[in-house]
Amino acid sequence: MVIGKTFKFESSHNIIGHPKCGQLHGHTYKLTVEVEGFINEKTDMVMDYHELSEIVNRLVVDKYDHTHLNTTMPCQPTCERLVFIIFNALKVEIPLLYAVILQEGEGGYARLTRQD
């Protein structure tokens, strides 16, 4: 079974060398974190949403919300790179992590799953 929870954060960035996105601009990011596992017989849950929220807020939202991504990331702050960094940070504390989907504004998104 797969469960998930969605979070939002606001950040600015610019993609160096890109003709349009090279200009400083910001996005509302919508982050969906999915966990896959079996229903625990004692809790009747795959994972407690409160526990999931605490981890995601601490490792992602608190780190990136209202920041300039160019100064908080070690690489070009593209949606693809950000989802890769987020997935790798979360998998350390969420062993059942299945997928991370990051939507940049109202348009594009990047998705990374455990199988990718």
**pLDDT beyond 80 at 116:** no
Catalytic residue among 41, 50, 66, 106: 66
The answer to whether residue 21 is catalytic is yes
Per-domain boundaries in the chain:
1-7+54-116
The answer to whether residue 66 is catalytic is yes
The answer to whether residue 34 is catalytic is no
Q: How far is CA 26 from CA 68, 69, 74, 82, 85, in A?
A: 9, 10, 18, 14, 19
Would you call 81 exposed, middle or buried from its count of C-beta atoms within 10 A (0-12, 13-18, 19+)? middle
**For residue 115, what pLDDT is reported?**
83
Catalytic residue among 13, 27, 34, 104: 104
Q: For the segment 13-45, what is each residue's pLDDT rounded down to a tens digit?
A: 999 999 999 999 999 999 999 999 999 999 999
Catalytic residue among 18, 21, 25, 54: 21
